[in-house]
Structure 1
């Protein structure tokens, strides 16, 4: 009976593939709750191994929607809207180009690009790079374009924002979390409209998302409590390690070793 239910919820997904999806959802929830970003940076490369990048993109949106909106509502007052709004505008304009690349590129190429982008972002963040001063409009708009492009390609629009805000020397982790959470809430509504229009949001993605939402919520709850206990350096190190390992494991380079 349980096997029949799982087969109906996850059509064409093997037992090992389901284990990967569950593990990626839990780890992604932990990182999201702990840092305020990073669910897609953990989930997308691992889920793409099982489902392919296009299906994984629709699944991410369905899983995160019930959490992103209320979290954004709680954080909007603490966020710096002068920084968030210009980024949101340019991210929205660049989003369709990212989706076009996702559909146009083949599955394996997208996996290489996705893992490479995430590994590069982690390297930049872990290098100790800091941005001095208040971000100007040109820089904010440029980061917004990258965010929209990456969001359309792989739902990792938070990656350039994390590099941008985590690297800002003047920002503490609370302000960074508020900015990211607020941005994600608005961008989730916008990207959902475009993904539905492009046919990427499907009933299959919604059915898969239903059981994974509970796992994601558990991970977010644990990550949020960990955030309250951890210091600033631990906050950054844990996020970097988890994201780095997820991207490294997802590389097509290992497919021959694991039989994919």
Structure 2
């Protein structure tokens, strides 16, 4: 069994494997609980171990077997008038995000990723809300931001979290259904582009194999917790988990933690 570890996790230390396992479980819990947030938890931590480009390919592989079934179950509850414009704009903006990912150096990407996540959580936790139904221009703008963030670091859920969690008229059930449906569609689109760019590799596929069960366990626990949690608890747990993951990933702590 131990002979498989170097094959599945090439050039990754035991501490790094532990980080990946923990990030996968926490990300699965948040994803199952809220309908989003796996990448917002996983990417900052996985980027420490693998670098942003390799982490982007890995996160797509881990989420693939789960995103489509979750989307199929949520599609009936989703508001397609909001989902479709977002998806179109996100698809057009995705290649630009991938180009930025490959252009920026690893340290800069880690700072940018962590600060974007922290800023988003701060905005959501502040209690900010907007009223009324979003128009097409707003939906297209949020979709473009989602596509850019998705290509940059697979964190396309950040603009969507602000968009749907920030909508006063949305409850947690509607938010979760919209998120699950959107991510199922975006998995197909982003996977095609990432494969063409050479970001999804055999290495990322092998590394994902032992993480599937961990992610599935997190999703199962998060999904069952969703059924008993209140609206306030739902938001607080999601915000806190994402915030702590981004905070720990800041390069500021590298010297202190000897990483």
> One fold, TM greater than 0.5?
yes
Alpha-carbon distance between aligned partners in 2 of 1:75 and 1:241, rounded to the nearest angstrom: 25
Alignment match, 1:97 = 96
Alignment match, 2:83 = 84
1:171-196 deviation per Cα after TM superposition (whole angstroms, max 9, x unaligned) = 01000001000000000000000000
Alpha-carbon distance between aligned partners in 2 of 1:32 and 1:180, rounded to the nearest angstrom: 10
Q: How does 1:1-260 map to 2 (within 5 A)?
A: 2-260=1-259
Alpha-carbon distance between aligned partners in 2 of 1:16 and 1:120, rounded to the nearest angstrom: 28
1:185-228 deviation per Cα after TM superposition (whole angstroms, max 9, x unaligned) = 00000000000000000000000001101000000000011111
After TM superposition, what 4+ stretches of structure 1 lie above 2 angstroms from structure 2?
Answer: none
Structure 1: give runs of 5+ residues left out of the alignment: none
Shift of 1:231: 0.2
1:57-77 deviation per Cα after TM superposition (whole angstroms, max 9, x unaligned) = 000000000000011011111
Shift of 1:3: 2.5
Alpha-carbon distance between aligned partners in 2 of 1:36 and 1:145, rounded to the nearest angstrom: 20
Shift of 1:247: 0.2
1:19-60 deviation per Cα after TM superposition (whole angstroms, max 9, x unaligned) = 000000000000000000000000000000000000000000
Alpha-carbon distance between aligned partners in 1 of 2:182 and 2:36, rounded to the nearest angstrom: 10
RMSD over aligned CA atoms reads: 0.5
Alpha-carbon distance between aligned partners in 1 of 2:7 and 2:187, rounded to the nearest angstrom: 27
Alpha-carbon distance between aligned partners in 1 of 2:76 and 2:233, rounded to the nearest angstrom: 26
Alpha-carbon distance between aligned partners in 1 of 2:10 and 2:256, rounded to the nearest angstrom: 25
| 2:128 aligned counterpart, secondary structure | coil
Alpha-carbon distance between aligned partners in 1 of 2:30 and 2:89, rounded to the nearest angstrom: 26
Alpha-carbon distance between aligned partners in 2 of 1:204 and 1:49, rounded to the nearest angstrom: 17
1:74-127 deviation per Cα after TM superposition (whole angstroms, max 9, x unaligned) = 111110000000000000000000000000000000000000000000000000
Q: If the length of structure 1 is used for normalisation, what is the TM-score? A: 0.99
Alpha-carbon distance between aligned partners in 2 of 1:237 and 1:123, rounded to the nearest angstrom: 12
Alpha-carbon distance between aligned partners in 2 of 1:229 and 1:34, rounded to the nearest angstrom: 10
Shift of 1:7: 1.0
Structure 2: give runs of 5+ residues left out of the alignment: none
